[in-house]
A and B are shown apart, each in its own frame.
Chain A
């Protein structure tokens, strides 16, 4: 890093400088007009040397009543953001990893149909973390359940334990679609990370939720469930929601409305 600094300093239009100027302007503007907005940013962005905090609990609200039939935008966005090959393009669909998928539900009696995305539910009491022999499956203080790429031995016990079929094993050597901030690897297990790279950058949103909003459906709301002022908290207070397999009492980070 140190050898990069002089170079960026000598180039007036360097990204660092631009970012600094931008940040300074934003800070000044923020301090002048909206201190509340600043506090919000401090709570949600995170410096690299700063540990994830349990003051935050990242979560997602899925409004199944707004989730459109046939729309796959959340899945495509996840695949693009995290660099996994869409199942339709895979030579081995049964073995292809799927971090998020659209579920179509139907009541056989009433014919009522429901659409919803299914992914890692980021349980507060994750069975995958319980069963992992090496501790590679872990839950961050802010509620995000992840797999440590360096200590996963590919035993697949977590896949046996997950009630949501949220995890995939990377069955074959990966092509070059890997993203630098989303490390993946053959023989390791992976799943939805709540776009942890975006969260840690301070984006405050996931790729799927952004795509859903961009498509005008607004079925996905991501945010801090511990912050009573966050949009997700407000919506969760108003809407009746359910947890999938609530009988297991795992305290899920993903809540569904309309199921």
Chain B
């Protein structure tokens, strides 16, 4: 097998520092947004006692789900022994760590008492899925960190497969945990199903890979390194499978709910009567997130780099829309405490709850995205993560 030369990105060009500064600006905006929310309380957000998890959770859960998915490329290399993916693995591991970091930051900075983070780290209730997730996230950092070490340090290279396998199993558990945050809720009609765990796993495959592809293509284009079609086409095909699987899960979930009379009202709300949420579901999640990318990637357009990038961007946008519908939609629909009766109260019982995200929420969420991208931008400068060339000839040698 041919060897691959990994090299740091030089990172001294004005373009690099402009990217760095641009992302840094959004990190700063995120920090200011947090400071504003923390100082005044959640009263300055669009959240209330009806919509208790808002836009920050949409960003946080999306980033956390995408984080485990971004590790996929590395897993294919080590766990499933595909040599072509080996040179792609270090970036995959770093990106997954960076995305998790960004997502977790948004999650903890949106707490009502984010100053009490230490309490969450020292007081545990092991029946809570949140507590489990605290350990799953910490374990992910450790395992992927070790895995990355085995890839970058020749002296421990022999442990790479073991570390990669452990990280792979862990990432499946982690996304199961993230899906179960919602799956383990008895109160809401749209949650409370084991389906959410596998569905979140398949979504993580799609979102993580879409982000990975965009970061990879950007890194190679901006550093002037060669990225051959062999790599892009292989990853593109993988993305098609994942996006199709996401669509399959979404269809099965809604078909199942539609069969149960007790879910008819909530399904009608999401699929037909929900106004903005319904639009977000059909246009955002289904058309932009699944159908259009599939059409692009499966048609002749999918052979062009630009169109692959557009498809990836659409998958990411669709993913954010999906998280919005999943998280906000389930809360917007009122709790049905007295089935068959109409409810009215000063606490907005029986009403569809409106939600308009505020600017601080948006910037807190974007801050998390910026942290993830900034960490990746920094990592490719200081670590040898990217092969000097991924042209078709180099890649072809790997397979033989």
Q: Which of A's residues lie within 8 Å of B, judged by CB?
A: 75, 87-88, 92-98, 101-108, 114, 118, 127, 129-136, 150-157, 159-165, 167-173, 186-189, 244-245, 248, 259
- SS class of chain A's interface: helix, strand, loop or mixed? loop
**Contact residues in A for B359 (Cβ distance below 8 Å):** none
In the complex, are the beta carbons of A172 and B43 less than 8 A apart? yes
- Would A133 and B134 count as touching, CB distance under 8 A? yes
Q: Identify which of residues 94-133 in chain B touch chain A, using a CB-to-CB cut-off of 8 Å.
A: 111-114, 116-117, 119-120, 123-125, 127-131
Q: Which residues of A contact B346 (CB under 8 A)?
A: 75, 87-88, 93, 98, 101-102
Q: What's the nearest-Cβ distance from chain B to residue A167, in Å?
A: 8
Whether B112 lies near A156 (C-beta < 8 A) is yes
* B interface, CB within 8 angstroms of A: 40-43, 47-50, 52-53, 111-114, 116-117, 119-120, 123-125, 127-131, 134, 181, 184-188, 331, 335, 337-338, 340-349
- Are B338 and A133 within 8 A (Cβ)? no
Q: List 7 A-B contacts (CB under 8 A).
A: A134-B125, A151-B123, A163-B335, A171-B42, A187-B42, A187-B111, A188-B112
Q: Tell whether, in the assembled complex, residue B345 and residue A154 are in contact, meaning their CB atoms are under 8 Å apart.
A: no
Q: Which residue of B lies closest to A259 (CB)?
A: B338
How far apart sit A198 and B343, CA to CA, in the bound complex (Å)? Answer: 31
| Cα–Cα distance between A162 and B117 once the two chains are bound (Å) | 23
- A30–B236 alpha-carbon span in the complex (Å): 85
Given A105-B341, A134-B125, 17 other A-B residues pairs in contact with their CB atoms under 8 A? A87-B346, A88-B346, A101-B345, A103-B343, A106-B341, A108-B341, A133-B131, A153-B114, A153-B117, A154-B112, A156-B53, A165-B347, A167-B49, A171-B42, A172-B41, A187-B112, A187-B113
Which residue on A lies nearest to B335, using beta carbons? Answer: A165
Out of A131, A168, A245, name the residue touching B129 (CB < 8 Å). Answer: A131
B113 & A153 in contact (Cβ 8 Å cutoff): yes
Give the distance in Å from the alpha carbon of A131 to the alpha carbon of B192 in the complex: 13
Q: How far is the CB of B57 from chain A (nearest CB, A)?
A: 9
Residues of A within 8 A of B127 (CB): 130-131
Taking A133-B125, A160-B53 as contacts, is the C-beta distance between A98 and B347 under 8 angstroms? Answer: yes
Cβ–Cβ contact B347 & A95, under 8 A: no
Q: Judging by beta carbons under 8 Å apart, are A132 and B128 in contact?
A: yes
